[in-house]
């Protein structure tokens, strides 16, 4: 019951955040110079044609009326028509979002699976070589631009070693309809087509690795700092005084209280991951939403911009809601304080 109340409160807040987001993006997209109708029709279109399209899109209306139309459509789940693809934005997003989602999820899993243990190892052997190695890696990973890592991996694994595919989500000519969740790995499993799952994973590996390195370094750094912080607590010393073995102390007594900061940062990383995904999507010809969104921005494809931003925003908000729930599970203090508040 308490949990449902917490969820309801958080959902209400999230809704508010999304409405705020929609206003900001709506205004920004329209204030930026450049006429969408002119850009869509090209330089050789006549003034009449442009005016006609402007009227059709409602661009001649006052801003608040345009926003009203947009929000009205959004409430019905209708994002309008894309000028660029001349299809409904809903359809565009439905086809591109799963690709980005699959990429981002794989990225997060890789970043977490390696980043957290690296941080634990660094904290365990603080100031000795594993620690120095992890810290150096974290800095290098943070400093190298994603596009550079992506190209490096592509050249190395794709052309030099030729062990992994470097473009797309599946080999060309693969007959497979991902019509359940849109996620190839999940749908492949659901339909029992293991070769599709295997191929999808092979295609996913390089782009996800390229996208995950910076986050992985970040996770390792935060985990390390948090573990060291906890290691200085009296309760760790107490556990030592009572003869609780190193291994148990490290994972049970130290890692769990230290787990909240990396978890929280992970939630925030999602925003930059979706942004960073566009570089990776372009380089690996990944048919994702991030690349679609960037194209929409350069072309001032207003409906598509709004659609991409709103979907990313919703995704971000939901992920962070999930993370809040996880944080409460990991640390009872947060749960209990929340109950009192």
For other proteins, the binding residues (CB under 8 A) are 233-235, 237-245, 248, 252-253, 256-257, 330-333, 336-337
Would you say 56 or 333 has its CB closer to other proteins? 333
- To the nearest whole angstrom, how small is the minimum distance from the Cβ of residue 260 to other proteins? 9
Distance of closest approach, residue 334 Cβ to other proteins, in angstroms:
10
Minimum distance between the CB of residue 223 and other proteins, rounded to whole angstroms? 16
Nearer to other proteins, 44 or 247 (CB): 247
Residue showing tokens 């049970």 = 252
Shortest Cβ distance from residue 114 to other proteins (Å)?
Answer: 24
CB 192 → other proteins: shortest distance, Å? 41
Residue (170 or 244) nearer to other proteins, CB: 244
In the bound state with other proteins, the residue whose beta carbon lies nearer, of 159 and 242, is: 242
Nearer to other proteins, 117 or 338 (CB): 338
């Amino acid at each position: 019951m308490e949990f449902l109340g917490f969820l309801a409160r958080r959902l209400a807040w999230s809704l508010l955040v999304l409405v705020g987001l929609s206003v900001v993006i709506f205004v920004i997209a329209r204030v930026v110079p450049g006429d969408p109708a002119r850009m869509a029709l090209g330089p050789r279109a006549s003034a009449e044609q442009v005016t006609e399209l402007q009227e059709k899109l409602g661009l001649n209306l006052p801003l608040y009326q345009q926003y009203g139309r947009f929000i009205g459509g959004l409430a019905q789940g209708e994002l309008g028509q894309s000028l660029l693809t001349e299809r409904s934005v809903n359809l565009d997003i439905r086809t591109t979002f799963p690709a980005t989602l699959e990429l981002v999820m794989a990225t997060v899993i890789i970043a977490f699976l390696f980043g957290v243990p690296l941080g634990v190892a660094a904290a365990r052997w603080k100031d000795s070589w594993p620690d120095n190695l992890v810290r150096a890696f974290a800095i290098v990973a943070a400093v190298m631009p994603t596009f550079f890592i992506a190209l490096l991996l592509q050249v190395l694994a794709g052309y030099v070693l030729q062990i992994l595919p470097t473009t797309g989500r599946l080999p060309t000519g693969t007959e497979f309809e991902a019509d359940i969740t849109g996620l190839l790995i999940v749908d492949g499993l659901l339909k029992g087509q293991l070769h599709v799952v295997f191929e999808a994973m092979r295609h996913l590996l390089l782009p996800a690795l390229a996208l995950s390195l910076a986050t992985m370094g970040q996770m390792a750094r935060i985990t390390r700092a948090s573990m060291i912080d906890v290691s200085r607590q009296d309760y760790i010393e107490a556990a030592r005084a009572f003869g609780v073995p190193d291994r148990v102390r490290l994972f049970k007594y130290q890692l769990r209280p230290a787990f909240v900061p990396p978890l929280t940062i992970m939630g925030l990383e999602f925003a930059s991951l979706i942004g960073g995904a566009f570089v990776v999507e372009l380089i690996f010809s990944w048919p994702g939403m991030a690349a679609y969104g960037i194209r929409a921005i350069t072309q001032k494809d207003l409906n598509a911009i709004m659609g991409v931003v709103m979907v990313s925003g919703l995704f971000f908000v939901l992920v962070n809601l999930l993370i809040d729930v996880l944080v409460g599970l990991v640390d009872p203090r947060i749960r209990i304080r929340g109950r009192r508040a």
